[in-house]
Amino acid sequence: MADSRFKPLDHPSDIGLIAFGKDNKEIFANAAYGMFSLMADLDQVEPRLTFKIMANGEDLETLLINWLNELIFYEDSKKVLLKKFEINKLTDKNIEASVRGEKIDLQKHVIFRPIKAATYNQLRIDKNQAKIIFDV
């Protein structure tokens, strides 16, 4: 599963990824895409539904965790898989995005594993990438 947007990471008890991007907007979008790619086969997901997502945090690291956890909340509460992430506004403390996906259909979608939360464990945001570990 080679993808220029992210790289999965092996972790003893959880899973993680390194998201790549030319800027923070791309890193945040690719982190979200990578997270959903670890949950399900996104090739089968159609971008039929659009949601506006907002999150905030006291710094960029907290914002990234809150953004990913907000997406997990949508996945869990609305039973959707998301695959398109358009970051409309991003500062060090706020994000506004349009995300697209569709309702989970177990006849159509291949689910790999649920993800409970993005964690602060080993969290790092560098110039062109971010490392995130997820609680499964």
User: Domain extents for the chain?
Assistant: 6-135
- Give the 3-state secondary structure of 76-107: HHHCEEEEEEEEEEECCCEEEEEEEEEECCCC
Summarised one tens digit per residue, pLDDT across range 26-49 is 999 999 999 999 999 999 999 999
CA 66 to chain centre: 10
Superfamily classification of domain 6-135: Archease domain (3.55.10.10)
**How does pLDDT run across 62-82, given as a tens digit for each residue?**
999 999 999 999 999 999 999
The whole-number pLDDT of residue 2 equals: 57
Quickly state the pLDDT bin for 10 (edges 50, 70, 90): confident
pLDDT at residue number 93: 98
pLDDT of residue 12: 79
Per-residue tokens: 39:
């949950």
Query: How far is CA 75 from each of CA 1, 20, 121, rounded to the nearest angstrom?
Result: 22, 23, 22
Identify which of 29, 60, 68, 57 has the alpha carbon closest to the alpha carbon of residue 126.
Answer: 60
Tell me which residue of 96, 13, 83 sits closest to 41, measured CA to CA.
Answer: 83
Is residue 104 within 8 Å of 81, Cβ to Cβ?
yes
The mean pLDDT of the chain is: 96
Nearest to 27 by CA among 135, 136, 123, 100: 123
pLDDT given at position 51: 97
* Percent of the chain clearing pLDDT 70 (strictly above): 99
pLDDT of 1 > 90? The answer is: no
